[in-house]
Copies of this chain bind each other. A is one copy, B any other.
């Protein structure tokens, strides 16, 4: 057998005889020529079967190949006559490895969403899904490289957690050898312990929400990265979020521009994601909503619609900080200049993609934190280990969480999160 190569390596093999293994993506014929589009996962290339180059048997075989036939093709690599930088193979050998037993169900024609989701395992073979998968993988690599390269230590948070800290309604529960265990919604509390150990910690893994809501922005299972930094305040947290997000967007533009263009993302919008990000207070955000004619008042939380209105005034992410404490979890530190406000921040992506980051500074005073736990009617006992972090050398600290799927949706320009993860899990979707 000749040298086995991947399609994305053909550029280095011009004039060489190679073998490629893959699947038929598309085919057209014209007289003495069959043009087979072969995909192997690394790319798609045109394999030209010329009647004069092959046996009559092979030429006939090439005429009867259906989509997704798995093939082994050998031939000489050449540059496309008209498209510089595009390479094709002049076929001399062609072996069918397996012929589809039925017509491949996903064709370029329009399919309903449910049909595509039911066939997610096959849908992943399409060009568009390839591009999204690769952008997702690049975002994840960018996230990890950013933290690994900036003095952070990866400290994985547990998935099983012993206590339903904030009520059980949005939690998935399982029987853990006789005890109830809950699937994590966030690794933050564990990252606070990790920050006390390694100074700058992050976790990256799946998190779970059993919400009944069926929206274009919610998954039951989604991936989140959560950095936490000792001796950092809210100001530092906003700077970190900004620097991090700019770095991730720049990396994806640098490495995955081709994929973004293939799914028709307007990359000029992403070129605008530079420092500094505008920063507004919650109070200013409420004003913005009111000016836009929204019936918003102080104390309201923001849904997707409100986030879109707030972010519409900006061409880059906007940081909204200092929400009312009443809207926020018990662990946020209160603003010393107005204790009704939390030292928190959300980062809203532009173009209506909404919140991609939420975080802030954590309460580091033991008595204040105990009072907050009591105020929220949470079980004090479940937080004893967390309170220990304030008992033994308490320290100012802050962090945030970034949702991977919302970031993929934003950078790819997808209206719904269902395409942002290989095998989505939603309210009515546990399959395949």
Contact = CB atoms under 8 A, between A and B. Distances in A.
Contact of A141 (B119, B125, B144, B199): B144
Copies of this chain assembled into the complex: 2
A83 to B, nearest CB: 23
Interface in A384-425: 385-386, 388-396, 421-423, 425
A388 B432 CA distance: 11
Interface in A68-103: 68-70, 97-102
Interface stretch (A158-166, A310-318, A340-348): A158-166
A200 B41 contact: yes
Nearest to A394: B98
A206 interface: yes
Contacts of A199: 6, 22, 40-42
Interface residues of A, number: 96
Given A174-B173, A423-B190, A427-B177, A101 B366 contact: yes
A151 interface: yes
A104 B172 CA distance: 35
Contacts of A242: none
A98 B422 contact: no
Contacts of A141: 144, 148, 154
A131 B7 CA distance: 42
Interface stretch (A51-59, A132-140, A276-284, A327-335): A132-140
A76 B168 CA distance: 52
B198 A41 contact: yes
Given A130-B198, A205-B206, A157 B68 contact: no
Given A41-B153, A41-B199, A172-B174, 19 more contacts: A21-B231, A40-B230, A41-B200, A70-B393, A97-B394, A97-B395, A100-B391, A101-B392, A102-B392, A121-B389, A124-B198, A137-B155, A141-B148, A144-B144, A158-B425, A159-B206, A159-B221, A159-B425, A177-B428
Interface of A: 4, 6, 8, 21-24, 40-42, 68-70, 97-102, 104, 119, 121-122, 124-125, 129-130, 133-134, 136-137, 140-141, 144, 148, 151, 153-162, 172-177, 179, 181, 183, 190, 193-200, 205-206, 208, 210, 212, 220-221, 223, 230-231, 364, 366, 385-386, 388-396, 421-423, 425, 427-428, 430-432
Give the 5 A-B residue pairs with the shortest CB-CB distance, closest first.
Answer: A41-B199, A385-B432, A124-B197, A121-B193, A98-B394
